[in-house]
Structures are given as C-alpha cells and as structure tokens.
C-alpha cells in the first residue's frame, strides 16, 4: 500500500480534483486514479517523506479561523483604501517573528495563510535562525502581531504537523 | 449565455451581490496598487483581489451555474485553491528581490539581512 501510494494525501486530492474538473463517471475515476498514483510515485522520487497530519481537528479548526480572518482583514484593508489610510494616519512596518515551526509543509501553509490575509506579507524566512520577516500594512502593535502569529496560527500548525 | 435568464430572483440577488463585492474588492486592490507610495505597501493591495475578490466572483459563478446546469459545479473551488497556493510564490520572489535591492542600495528603512554563520564572500554581508 505504501509502496504504491507514497503520498496518499496528494493522490487523494488529485483524484478529487480530476473528478471535479470532469463529469463523474467510472472511466474518469479509473483515469484519475491512474494519474494520481503516477504523480504520487513521481513526487516520491523528488520529495520522499510524505507530510503526516497528526491532528485533523486542529487542521479543521485552523481552516475555520483562517476563513474568518481573511474576511475580517479584507474588510479592514478595503476600508483603509477607501479612507486613504485613516486620512494619512496609517503606518506600515516590518516585524520579525521568531518561529518554532520547522516542518516545511507547515511553513508553506503559514505562508499561504499570511499571504491570503490582506494586510500581511511574508517577505523573508531565515532557515538558520527560524526568523520570519513580515510586512504589516497597518501596524499598531508589534508585539500584538508576534503574539497573533504565534498563538493563533503557529500553535495550531505545530499541533497539526509537529 | 443561455440558461442564465431562468434564474429565480432569490438566487439572482446573492449572485449579483457576490459579483459586485468581488469586483469592488478587486478594483480597490488595483486602485491601491496605483496609489500607494512604497513598494512594500503596494504588495498588500492586490491581495484583496486574490483573496475575497476571487472568492466572491467564484461563489457567484458556482451558484449560478449549479442552478442553470442542474448539477453542482465545483470547478471554481479548484481555481480558488490554485490562486491561494500560488500567490505566496510570486509575492515572496518580489518581496525578496525588493529587500535585496534596498539592502544593496543601503536604504535605511529596511531591516538588515539575517546574520550568516558560514563565512560569506567579501562584501556580501555589508548590505
């Protein structure tokens, strides 16, 4: 089983995507599964260790939190655009955030979260020191941002990937 | 497109609402890209378009087509996932290029490069 499906999550996602993009039929299920297995085997050549999800509930909770945060920050940034940055009072700043998270998949997910949330931009991550350089559009409290990333996202990501 | 005229009013309202929301957010993002002063501020503006700008338009599309074709349309979900997963790549490339430029040109308002433990080639760590 593991020999044929070294990346079970990736293969499952590919089959699902294949069925979404085509009309569901037995033929497409077979074709999609074949492609998913081949893609999983190919990826195993490049990137042998498959990501392991330790805690599905934490992942689902993270998903919910992020969806809410994206909505909220969209509203916040759109309002800043409309009011011309609170009439000139908005200040953007860099903030460096020391991360405990080291799992590459976890870091990639954090990058997606940070980027998908308007108002924060992932600029640079130093693998050696584990420090992430973030740019914040509307900076009010630097330590608040550090705590937010650490407690709201990183803690859950550590729980999921560890 | 044919088929869309048959949409009932209760469905037209959310579809139109999502379309207006998505296009307004994308427009605001484009406006910000034009209007903001520094590079690091400008990279924030288009994320309005790539997050809820895209999501709202995709939702409108999924709702109306699922009704018109009488089956659930989920292509849009794939588009959304691809947009979400690929924007960080371009953003990081642009951000790091800008950081590198500003550090080598010695502009004071960017944070210094992270320290390296291995001996860097001459001049590389002065930026």
> How much is the pTM?
0.82
- What the block records as the tokens of A43 is 């990826």
Is a pLDDT exceeding 50 seen at residue A13?
Answer: yes
Answer yes or no: is B52 within a domain. Answer: yes
Measured CA to CA, the distance from residue A47 to residue A69 in angstroms comes to: 32
Identify the three-state secondary structure at position A97. strand
What ipTM is given for this predicted complex?
Answer: 0.77
- pLDDT, residue B118, reads 57
Check pLDDT > 60 for residue A67: yes
pLDDT band of residue B27 (cuts 50, 70, 90) is: very high
Q: Is residue B66 part of a domain?
A: yes
**Per-residue pLDDT, B21:** 92
SS3 category, B23: helix
On chain B, the residues whose CB falls within 8 A of the CB of A112 are 84-85, 88
Structural domain span for residue B56: 12-104
Closest CA to A151 of A62, A90, A22: A62
Chain B residues within 8 Å of chain A (Cβ atoms): 24-25, 28-29, 31-32, 38, 40-41, 43-45, 47-48, 50-52, 74-75, 77-78, 84-85, 87-88, 91-92, 95-96, 99, 110-111, 114-117
Chains A and B form CB pairs within 8 A to the count of 97
Structural domains of chain B, count? 1
Query: Is residue B123 a part of any domain in this protein?
Result: no
- Segments making up each domain of chain A, as ranges: 8-46, 56-161
Which ranges of A7-162 does DSSP label H, i.e. alpha helix?
Answer: 8-21, 26-46, 56-82, 84-88, 104-116, 142-148, 155-161
In a domain, residue B70? The reply is: yes
Which class for A51: exposed (0-12), middle (13-18), buried (19 or more C-beta within 10 A)?
middle
Residue B119 lies in a domain: no
- What is the distance between the alpha carbons of residues A135 and A124, in angstroms, rounded to a whole number? 10
User: Distance from B123 to chain A by nearest Cα, in Å?
Assistant: 19
B118 domain residue, yes or no: no
**Residue of A73, A116, A133 to mutate, interface with B, max B Cβ within 10 Å:** A116
CATH of the domain at B21: 1.10.287
Work out the average pLDDT over B7-27: 90
């Amino acid at each position: 089983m593991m020999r044929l499906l070294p990346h079970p999550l990736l293969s499952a996602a590919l089959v699902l995507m294949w069925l979404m993009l085509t009309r569901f039929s037995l033929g497409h299920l077979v074709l999609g599964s074949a492609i998913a297995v081949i893609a999983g085997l190919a990826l195993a050549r490049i990137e042998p260790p498959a990501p392991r999800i330790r805690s599905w509930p934490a992942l689902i909770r993270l998903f919910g939190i992020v969806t809410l945060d994206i909505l909220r920050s969209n509203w916040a940034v759109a309002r800043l655009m409309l009011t011309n940055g609170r009439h000139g009072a908005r200040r953007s700043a860099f903030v460096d955030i020391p991360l405990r998270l080291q799992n590459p998949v976890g870091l990639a997910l954090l990058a997606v979260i940070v980027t998908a949330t308007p108002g924060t931009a992932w600029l640079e991550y130093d693998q050696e020191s584990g420090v992430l350089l973030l740019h914040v559009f509307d900076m009010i409290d630097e330590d608040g941002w550090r705590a937010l990333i650490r407690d709201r996202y990183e803690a859950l990501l550590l729980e999921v990937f560890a | 497109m044919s088929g869309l005229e048959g949409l009932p009013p209760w469905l037209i309202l959310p579809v139109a609402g999502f379309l207006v929301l998505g296009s307004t957010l994308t427009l605001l993002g484009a406006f910000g890209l034009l209007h903001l002063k520094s590079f690091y501020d400008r990279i924030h503006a288009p994320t309005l378009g790539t997050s809820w700008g895209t999501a709202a338009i995709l939702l409108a599309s999924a709702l109306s087509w699922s009704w018109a074709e009488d089956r659930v349309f989920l292509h849009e979900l794939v588009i959304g996932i691809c947009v979400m997963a690929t924007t960080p790549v371009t953003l990081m490339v642009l951000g790091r290029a800008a950081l590198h430029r500003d550090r080598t040109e010695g502009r004071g308002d960017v944070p210094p490069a992270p320290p390296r433990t291995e001996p860097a080639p001459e001049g590389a760590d002065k930026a």
